Amino acid sequence: MTQTETRSNEAAVEPEACIICGGTTFRPAGISSGYRIFRCMECGFHFVHPTPPLSEIAAIYEKYSSNKLYAAKAERKVLRAMKQIRRYRQLAPGNRFIDFGCNIGTAVEAAIRLGLDAHGVDIDEESVGIARKEYPRGKFHAGALESLPADWADFDFAFMIEVIEHLPDPHAYFEAMRKRLKPGALLYLSTPDAGHWFVPRDFTAWREVFPPQHLHYFTKKAMRRFLTDHGFEVIRFIWSPKPRLKVLARKK
């Protein structure tokens, strides 16, 4: 399949409303690996439409395991996460830390080294298996948020690094996540920044565009709206030289 063919032979289906702002005007932003991408003209959110079926997404992840690559860089990632945790932890009301989408557990290990009570959850069992082996002091859970033990609650500080762009339903994920946080809890989230000057005019030429792994591409405006709608107050966007949104927010 070439870049310009779509996965289905059906005529293009226009989105009805932006899932972030409710806007109804869109512009096609191209086709990548057969998936159509649209841009909301109101908030700048870019998204794959229609959302591919879960089976199609899962099949891709089975083929594409980046664990080996991650493992080689693991210690560097631990050190980078320690830097971030150290920088922001004073904004969190307490010591209970959770990494949503923890992968092989590097941020959990970072939090442990800094004396936090650290937990990590990831849908990918293989990654969590590696995390348990590499970082036995961490508490890990493999599965969907709905399957978290009841006492995985009242967290003070949550990480969500490069996760939201993968989620077929970010709203459902955020509602499930929110329930696990204490009021006043700090959230540190990062995701590619679709509104950055660095993003090429031909959106699909951007290296972050690879559906069906990446389904959603936020701008600052879209992220602010999304967080506010889920009961978070944006503390600030952290400047990055890269096209990456980094945001600190507080659960109200």
**Site of interaction with Zn ion (CB under 5 A):** 18, 20-21, 23, 40, 42-43, 45
Radius of gyration of the chain (CA): 18
Helices (H) and strands (E) in the chain, counts: 7, 11
Give the total residue count for the chain.
Answer: 252
What's the closest the beta carbon of residue 187 comes to Zn ion, in angstroms?
A: 21
**Distance between alpha carbon 118 and the CA centroid of its chain, in Å?**
19
What residue type is assigned to position 6 of the chain? Answer: T
What's the closest the beta carbon of residue 71 comes to Zn ion, in angstroms?
A: 38
| Comparison of 28 and 115: residue with beta carbon closer to Zn ion | 28
What's the closest the beta carbon of residue 229 comes to Zn ion, in angstroms?
A: 11
| Comparison of 21 and 104: residue with beta carbon closer to Zn ion | 21
What's the closest the beta carbon of residue 246 comes to Zn ion, in angstroms?
A: 21
| Comparison of 45 and 159: residue with beta carbon closer to Zn ion | 45
**Distance between alpha carbon 17 and the CA centroid of its chain, in Å?**
22
- Spatial neighbors of 172 by CB under 8 A, at least 6 apart, are none
> What dihedral angle (degrees, nearest 10) is formed by the CA atoms of 108, 113, 115, 118?
10
In 3D, which of 205, 210, 237 has the Cα closest to residue 222? 237
Torsion angles phi and psi, residue 202, rounded to 5: -80, 100
Helix (H) or strand (E) holding 37: strand 35-40
| Comparison of 156 and 165: residue with beta carbon closer to Zn ion | 165
What's the closest the beta carbon of residue 225 comes to Zn ion, in angstroms?
A: 8
| Comparison of 91 and 234: residue with beta carbon closer to Zn ion | 234
What's the closest the beta carbon of residue 202 comes to Zn ion, in angstroms?
A: 21
| Comparison of 23 and 94: residue with beta carbon closer to Zn ion | 23
- What separation in angstroms does the CA of 117 have from each of 24, 174, 217? 44, 22, 32
